[in-house]
């Protein structure tokens, strides 16, 4: 039963999955409390457009996808603040536009012979030592941000006082 643990690629995969799972749990609480549970699914599709654009422009795949994901998150945030539509609708709009751009570019450029789906879906057993260090750095940075900004996150995710609570405290 412990035989797979003698292989380094298997151990790296388990450590990566554990760190990413803990990180998602840490951030997920705040995402759900902000009523933006669709954001994870939406950004994963939005990043597809950025990944395709970075591939076409011969830019680093991960850098282009990360930058595009950040821009998509900012657009979603600005859309929900400036308009009267809900967060899920804004996520759907930005996600659909970005994903459509990626599909249009893939169909336009027929040179996609690389394993693009492997980069999108990943391979937990293909985690390299450098990837594991990147995951550790991101996890530690995120943990530090959450610890330092705990009160801000707490108050920004708290629901407003309801009529029942106001009546109870009056």
The predicted-structure confidence for 36-94, as pLDDT tens digits, reads as follows: 777 878 888 888 888 888 888 888 877 888 899 899 988 888 888 776 777 778 888 88
Q: What pLDDT is recorded for position 144?
A: 96
pLDDT for 143-164, tens place per residue? 999 999 988 888 877 766 555 5
- DSSP class of residue 3? G
pLDDT number for residue 20: 93
pLDDT at 115 over 70: no
93: nearest Cα among 51, 48, 46, 47 = 46
Please give the pLDDT value at position 159.
67
SS3 157: helix
The candidate with the shortest Cα–Cα distance to 51, out of 114, 124, 144, is 114
Q: What is the DSSP letter of 161?
A: P
Mean pLDDT of 140-145: 95
Please give the pLDDT value at position 105.
83
- Single pTM value for the model: 0.68
Given a contact cutoff of 8 angstroms between Cβ atoms, the answer to whether 124 and 17 are in contact is yes
pLDDT of residue 18: 95
More confident residue, 142 or 123: 142
Scan for tokens 């629901």, then name that residue. 159
DSSP class of 125: G
Q: What is the domain partition of the chain in residue ranges?
A: 17-121
- At 109 the pLDDT is 72
- Average pLDDT of the chain, as a whole number: 82
């Amino acid at each position: 039963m412990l035989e797979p643990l003698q292989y380094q690629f298997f151990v790296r995969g388990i450590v990566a999955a554990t760190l990413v799972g803990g990180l998602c749990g840490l951030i997920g609480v705040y995402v759900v409390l902000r009523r933006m549970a669709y954001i994870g699914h939406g950004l994963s599709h939005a990043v597809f457009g950025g990944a395709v654009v970075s591939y076409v422009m011969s830019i680093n795949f991960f850098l282009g996808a990360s930058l595009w994901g950040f821009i998509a998150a900012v657009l979603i945030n600005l859309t929900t603040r400036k308009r009267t539509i809900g967060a899920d609708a804004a996520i759907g709009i930005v996600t659909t536009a970005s994903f459509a751009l990626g599909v249009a570019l893939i169909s336009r450029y027929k040179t996609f012979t690389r394993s693009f789906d492997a980069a999108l879906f990943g391979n937990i057993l293909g985690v390299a030592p450098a990837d594991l260090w990147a995951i550790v750095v991101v996890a530690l940075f995120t943990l530090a941000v959450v610890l330092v900004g705990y009160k801000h996150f707490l108050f920004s995710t708290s629901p407003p006082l309801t009529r029942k609570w106001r009546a109870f405290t009056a």
